[in-house]
Amino acid sequence: GAVVSQHPSRVICKSGTSVKIECRSLDFQATTMFWYRQFPKQSLMLMATSNEGSKATYEQGVEKDKFLINHASLTLSTLTVTSAHPEDSSFYICSGAGNSYEQYFGPGTRLTVT
Amino acid sequence: GDSVTQMEGPVTLSEEAFLTINCTYTATGYPSLFWYVQYPGEGLQLLLKATKADDKGSNKGFEATYRKETTSFHLEKGSVQVSDSAVYFCALNRPTGTASKLTFGTGTRLQVTL
């Protein structure tokens, strides 16, 4: 199957700082990318959907000014958590979909805000 | 809105035991149903899917049948192996002609012992 990478796999940052997470499709062009958040022992919750070159569509309750999503190319999307706080600590997972519409998932990024 | 409910884990089985992980859904219309698997340290991988009622998805010895009358999509395997130890997610989406968002269950951790 197609491969999606995420970087970093783990990050620890101080409260009030911003952190950027990269999601790359390595061997296919991802026209659509999704960003999910997963709390311990809970479902993956969709945060936003982005199409290359367009503004992301955020799910209800997700602050677009706090979680900045950029999908500037067909192989790269970034999620920036701005002014992070401890409640933003979570596991963030991206996925990409190309022409087949099947989603291919990255391995996730563990964010810890101290 | 759409939702997916799956049995809580962890599920612990001996090798060669029979596996069932229950999944039920709530959705209007005719969603597509999926099982994803997440091995330790890796991203989610599509295990199998079914797109209409009475369809059976199968892969690597795993099976699940789309039962509209009971709104269920239970995952089964006749003889599990240690290598099947992972977290299994049931999910649904609404095919819209483009990649559409997935609604996930909480995941069920399977541990297979010798």
Q: Say if B40 is an interface residue toward chain A (CB within 8 Å).
A: no
Q: For residue range B72-102, list pLDDT tens digits in order.
A: 999 999 999 999 999 999 999 876 655 678 8
Cβ distance of B4 and A97 shorter than 8 Å: no
Closest Cα in chain A to B4: A43
Smallest CA-to-CA distance from A93 within A102, A101, A103, A105 is with A105
User: Is cis: bond before A8, omega within 30 of 0?
Assistant: yes
Smallest CA-to-CA distance from A23 within A57, A62, A74 is with A74
Report the residue from A1, A32, A108 with minimal CB separation from B98.
A32
Smallest CA-to-CA distance from B108 within B69, B65, B66, B62 is with B62
**pLDDT at position B96, please?**
63
**pLDDT at position B90, please?**
97
Q: Is A1 exposed, middle or buried (0-12, 13-18, 19+ CB in 10 A)?
A: exposed
In A, which residues are within 8 Å of B105 by CB distance?
43
Residue B16 pLDDT > 90: yes
Smallest CA-to-CA distance from B60 within B32, B31, B42, B37 is with B37
The rounded distance, in Å, linking the Cα atoms of A28 and A2 is: 7
Residue type, A44: L
pLDDT in tens, chain A (114 residues): 689 999 999 999 999 999 999 999 999 999 899 999 988 777 788 999 998 888 899 999 999 999 999 998 999 999 999 999 999 999 999 999 887 768 899 999 999 999
**pLDDT at position A40, please?**
77
For residue A95, list its beta bridge partners.
A34, A105
Q: Say if B106 is an interface residue toward chain A (CB within 8 Å).
A: yes
Cβ distance of A32 and B99 shorter than 8 Å: yes
Mutation site for B-interface testing, chosen from A36, A37, A103 by largest number of B Cβ within 10 Å: A103
